[in-house]
Amino acid sequence: MAEQNFVDYVKICCRSGAGGAGSMHFHRDKRTIKGGPDGGDGGRGGHIIVRGNRNLWTLLPLKYRKHVIAGSGGHGSSGNKFGADGEDIILEVPLGTVAKDAETSEFLFEITADGEEQVLLYGGRGGLGNSHFKSPTNQTPRYAQPGEPGREEWKILELKVLADVGLVGFPNAGKSTLLSVLTAAKPEIAPYPFTTIVPNLGIVQYRDGRSFMIADIPGIIENAHLGKGLGHRFLRHIERNATLLFMIPCDADSIKKEYDVLLRELELYNPELLDKPRVLAITKSDLIDAELKELLKAELPPDVPYIFISAVAQQGLDELRDLLWRTINAATPSDMP
């Protein structure tokens, strides 16, 4: 059921409101037979707005909402009265949501802060009343502007999971097991590949009441940057993680080769991912002794901090928390233990 409830992609048809027409009216009362123009402006059409909500983790509320229609603006009236603005429609989304145009795939904006608002589709402008068009040579303009029509466009909303640490590894590298041990999250765990098909989030409790967020992301495979396996569905979630924790089991044929493959897939998808801080965890290390660990160290990549851990045997987990905390807060040494 968790997989069904996690929605990270929706395509919706948005229709903004039409602007109200301006009024063509002349002032009349019991004392004024031929007054000047006093037609008011029409109200603008309703916008469709996207708002960030830190309490949401998925786009599920929008999954079955295929059409979003904003209200039309009211017409202007006599006495220079403006028409009411059309009702805006506000779509609340999780932080890390990206908006794109469905026709051109053009990037529109990204929501990263709670309460942040961006206009997904603008409503039509209201028309001007005839009072705007009076002049010395035309003191009784008998026309006013109609309101602009609303727009109808298809938009795409994609969620990129925001977390302090993202777990990167091949299927069955032990990512879900580690998440279940470090946090209160309960991801599905099974001895076969692609058990995790949607991201799982958990909060790691650290010292003195401090904490950080960790994301278990579906396993990567070679050529994922081409869309193979879960492909882009997986890789886009990596972009919003501050630190990457590479996880490779100690019984892999070659730890360095697997690390290089993972790194290459990230680079081919988005070279900027290589700028993120990285940590390497050698998992299932309860299966090997100290002598074999020393032999494995010789083939580990020299440019990344590493640690041997076992989530099942609870080995190296405190050291891993410390290492991740130092890496996350590398720019603020005073926060380090």
Q: What is the pLDDT of residues 15-51, one digit of tens each?
A: 999 999 999 999 988 888 788 899 999 999 999 999 9
CA distance 204 to 322: 11
Sheet holding 241-249, edge to edge: 200-205, 211-216, 163-168, 241-249, 278-283, 306-308
CA distance 306 to 147: 63
Average pLDDT on 284-298 reads 87
Q: How confident is the model at residue 5 (pLDDT cuts 50, 70, 90)?
A: low
Q: Is the separation of the CB atoms in 267 and 273 below 8 Å?
A: yes
Q: What is the CA radius of gyration of the chain?
A: 29
41-79: pLDDT as tens digits: 999 999 999 999 988 878 888 988 889 999 999 999 999
Name 280's bridge partners.
Answer: 246, 306
pLDDT the model gives residue 185: 61
